[in-house]
Amino acid sequence: MKKIILVLVLCLSTVLTYAQSIPNYDKYPLDTAKNVKTATPIALQAANYLLDTPISQNETNRLNSAAFLIEWMSSSPDYSFDIDHSIEILGDNNDYLGIYLAAMVKYQVENKILESNETTKLELWKIVAQYMDNPDNNIKVKGKIKKLIKANKKNKLQEFLNK
């Protein structure tokens, strides 16, 4: 019985360690349209990493993931990402901006939406609100972020974003 438990613990720790690893972004140059298209799954992996780890955890990995994501977003020949005035909700916090961009990439790539639109905007803010509402992510919930979370919980996010 002890051996079974030990094996299960080792397997679980291996899975968790793998889930929190990031690729070597240097292996994915974004110098041509073909390379950018090839790197789309890596961009999605970077977005998921940012959305799956707390802001204060693995800061170097988070920075590298955000930097890759931004470069991929600006180089993508297939996807168009529009940032509108609603970004002001996040203030000047670069970590929060990374979450916003990760949510945008995640939603658009997973749903194969090539250009941002109102639905994209609403869905990405739902992802952001859920991330911000998770106490494990170490977000200081106050001001506009608190209102964002409250609006999301009450299914009034669209009204909140249109203010």
pTM, whole model, 2 decimals? 0.85
State mean pLDDT over 98-121: 96
Is residue 150 assigned to a domain? yes
> In the structure, what pLDDT confidence band is assigned to residue 88 with cuts at 50, 70 and 90?
very high
Is residue 15 assigned to a domain? no
Q: What is the pLDDT of residue 16?
A: 40
pLDDT above 80 (res 89): yes
Is residue 43 assigned to a domain? yes
Which range of residues forms the domain containing residue 140? 28-162
pLDDT above 90 (res 9): no
Is residue 6 assigned to a domain? no
Q: What is the pLDDT of residue 154?
A: 98
Q: How far apart are CA 61 and CA 120, in angstroms?
A: 27
Number of structural domains (the chain) is 1
pLDDT above 80 (res 15): no
Query: Which spans in 20-156 are helix H?
Result: 33-38, 40-52, 59-75, 94-110, 118-133, 143-153
Q: How far apart are CA 139 and CA 133, in angstroms?
A: 8
Q: How far apart are CA 163 and CA 153, in angstroms?
A: 17
